[in-house]
Amino acid sequence: MAAASIRLFNTMTMQKETLEPAVPGKLGVYVCGPTVYSYVHIGNARTFTSFDVVVRYLRYRGFEVKYVRNYTDVDDKIIKAAHETGEEPVALAARFVEAFREDARALHLLEPDVSPKVSDHLAEIIGIIGKLVDKGLAYESKGDVYFSVRHYPEYAKLSKRNLDDLCAGERVQPGEQKHEPLDFALWKAAKPGEPAWDSPWGKGRPGWHIECSAMSAKYLGETFDIHGGGLDLIFPHHENEIAQSEGASGKTFSRYWMHCGFLDLEGAKMSKSLGNVVRLRDALTKVDPEALRFFFVGTHYRHPLNFADKGLADAEQRMEYFYETLRKVDERVSGKDFGKGPLYGEPHKHLTEFESQMDDDFNTAGALGALSGLFAQMNELTDKPPVKDKAQVGRTLQALREDVRKVSGVLGLFEDEPAQWLLRRRDRAVKERGIDVAKVESLIQARNEARKAKNFAEGDRLREELKGMGVEILDTAAGTVWKVAPQ
């Protein structure tokens, strides 16, 4: 497919702009990854899912994307957590990198092309700090190295903060070696019990922000296309990345900036420091991963999203409707040949609408509207076909099913076999509601026997009995299937 015209909201200019790659057809994307001192929560997962969909869509639209997402495995929080557990900080970080990988796979997140870690990039980090010192943009102070914000006039251009206002609220704290309050650490002198590496300024470790400047330059070049993260990273993290990278290279760092809104719990940003977190792995014991993705993409990535159990339950119910439709359509048309000929109506209009919503700053919420249209049309064609020509209906359903596959690759939804997905959903509901499966199955068998014997009154009575247990039955071409009724 030819590269299309995509507009995205650039936090730097605060406007929607047409995405034009520096190298035609190619895009470098860097997303700030997790700080691996604990399990990720579903707020983190929202941001990572948003960029997962962005990368999937850019590829769908024909761009060759190189996707880099780092691991912050050297950090104050990691050192503190390691002191608490008695582990080595590097070992604790490695453990949570593995946990993150498991969680990311469970949520069907694409594996980035490169997932660099700070601890593997000390040479690059030291190199860029050296450049900043040589250029007079950074200074050494008692084994620490700081970026000198006063020497970088463009500071705060992303967050549009006023330097005087910023200065007013800051003081150099006792024990800090910096000259001015806004200066930030590029390198921290070693302290006992902390991981440390050799450098021209003595043993120490990098500050937080410098890693992204060093690793993005290594894998994507000094200038690359899209930089992403959650809103909280705009200041100071991304501001500091810009100062370091543009200060060292003299070139534009990222050409477009994208930021994902917060996932809130009861009105407050979900964050480890507030303690109001739901771990992704805990959420995934209760809700299907695709339903969680569906919940995330139901809101535009820049808007806040309020987390509530009801929202997840609704998402899973909607996914059930989608999968039931797919099961029915597959039963009807999968592997069949309906010959060549015209299709009914304009079957691809939903996919075209989906694309135009996604082209508009990755408007997944709008795109889901197009998806609903696609499923409504599949249901209409299977349940009450508006035309008599069965081959035409079959061909049209096959064309719509193909469009679902395209959407599915972009959103990371409907990647499962419908019957399998529905069975898993049913198993979860059965456990939650304490339904006796053996009893359900024997009642269904009794009902089928009653119907065979033309005892329809008994058949209806058994259906009611099942209903009373919270079970709905459906007679399909492949036999009777059942599901747990919504509460």
Find residue 264's DSSP bridge partners.
269, 306
- Rank residues 217 and 305 by Cβ distance to ligand AMP and give the closer one: 305
| Binding flag, residue 54, ligand AMP (CB under 6 A) | no
238, 42 in Cβ contact below 8 A?
no
| Binding flag, residue 230, ligand AMP (CB under 6 A) | yes
- Rank residues 245 and 396 by Cβ distance to Zn ion and give the closer one: 245
- Rank residues 89 and 230 by Cβ distance to ligand AMP and give the closer one: 230
DSSP letters spanning 57-87: HHHHTT-EEEEEE-BB-SSHHHHHHHHHHTS
Candidate ranges 20-28, 44-52, 61-69, 245-253; the one touching ligand AMP (CB under 6 A): 44-52
Closest CA to 364 of 355, 373, 376: 355
Q: What are the C-alpha distances in Å from 56 to residues 113, 400, 456?
A: 13, 20, 51
Q: Which does 109 bind (CB under 5 to 8 A by kind): Zn ion, ligand AMP, none?
A: none
Candidate ranges 30-38, 125-133, 213-221, 287-295; the one touching ligand AMP (CB under 6 A): 30-38
Q: Which does 328 bind (CB under 5 to 8 A by kind): Zn ion, ligand AMP, none?
A: none
The number of CA neighbours under 13 Å toward the Cβ of 58 is 25
- Rank residues 229 and 394 by Cβ distance to ligand AMP and give the closer one: 229
| Binding flag, residue 116, ligand AMP (CB under 6 A) | no
| Binding flag, residue 112, ligand AMP (CB under 6 A) | no
297, 366 in Cβ contact below 8 A?
no
Angle between helix 349-359 and helix 390-411 axes, rounded to 10 deg:
20
- Rank residues 119 and 271 by Cβ distance to ligand AMP and give the closer one: 271
| Binding flag, residue 166, ligand AMP (CB under 6 A) | no
For the record, the structure tokens of 340 come out as 């060549």
Q: Alpha helices, DSSP H only, in 113-224?
A: 122-134, 163-168, 210-220
Cα(413)–Cα(400) distance, integer angstroms: 16
Rounded to a whole number of angstroms, the minimum distance from the CB of residue 112 to ligand AMP is: 14
- Rank residues 228 and 347 by Cβ distance to ligand AMP and give the closer one: 228
Among 9, 46, 207, 396, binds ligand AMP (CB under 6 A): 46
Strands (E), 111-195: 138-141, 144-147, 184-189
Q: What residue number has its CB nearest to ligand AMP? A: 230
Among 34, 204, 347, 418, binds ligand AMP (CB under 6 A): 34
Cα(446)–Cα(480) distance, integer angstroms: 12
260, 300 in Cβ contact below 8 A?
no
- Rank residues 215 and 404 by Cβ distance to Zn ion and give the closer one: 215
Interface of this chain with ligand AMP, residues 265 to 284, rule: CB under 6 A? 269-271
- Rank residues 31 and 329 by Cβ distance to Zn ion and give the closer one: 31
Q: Which does 212 bind (CB under 5 to 8 A by kind): ligand AMP, Zn ion, none?
A: Zn ion
Cα(245)–Cα(132) distance, integer angstroms: 9
| Binding flag, residue 232, ligand AMP (CB under 6 A) | yes
Rounded to a whole number of angstroms, the minimum distance from the CB of residue 248 to Zn ion is: 15
Among 67, 208, 262, 414, binds ligand AMP (CB under 6 A): 262
Rounded to a whole number of angstroms, the minimum distance from the CB of residue 457 to ligand AMP is: 56
**Cα(first)–Cα(last) distance of the chain, in Å?**
44
Rounded to a whole number of angstroms, the minimum distance from the CB of residue 387 to ligand AMP is: 47
Angle at 183 between CA 168 and CA 210, to 5 degrees: 135
- Rank residues 61 and 209 by Cβ distance to ligand AMP and give the closer one: 209
Among 10, 11, 35, 254, binds ligand AMP (CB under 6 A): 35
Q: Alpha helices, DSSP H only, in 188-238?
A: 210-220
Sign of CA dihedral 142, 147, 150, 156: negative
Rounded to a whole number of angstroms, the minimum distance from the CB of residue 94 to ligand AMP is: 16
Rounded to a whole number of angstroms, the minimum distance from the CB of residue 270 to ligand AMP is: 4
| Footprint on this chain of Zn ion (rule: CB under 5 A) | 32, 212
Q: What are the C-alpha distances in Å from 132 to residues 44, 129, 181, 211, 264?
A: 32, 5, 19, 14, 38
- Rank residues 271 and 325 by Cβ distance to ligand AMP and give the closer one: 271
Residues that bind ligand AMP (CB under 6 A): 32, 34-35, 43-44, 46-47, 229-230, 232-233, 260, 262-263, 269-271
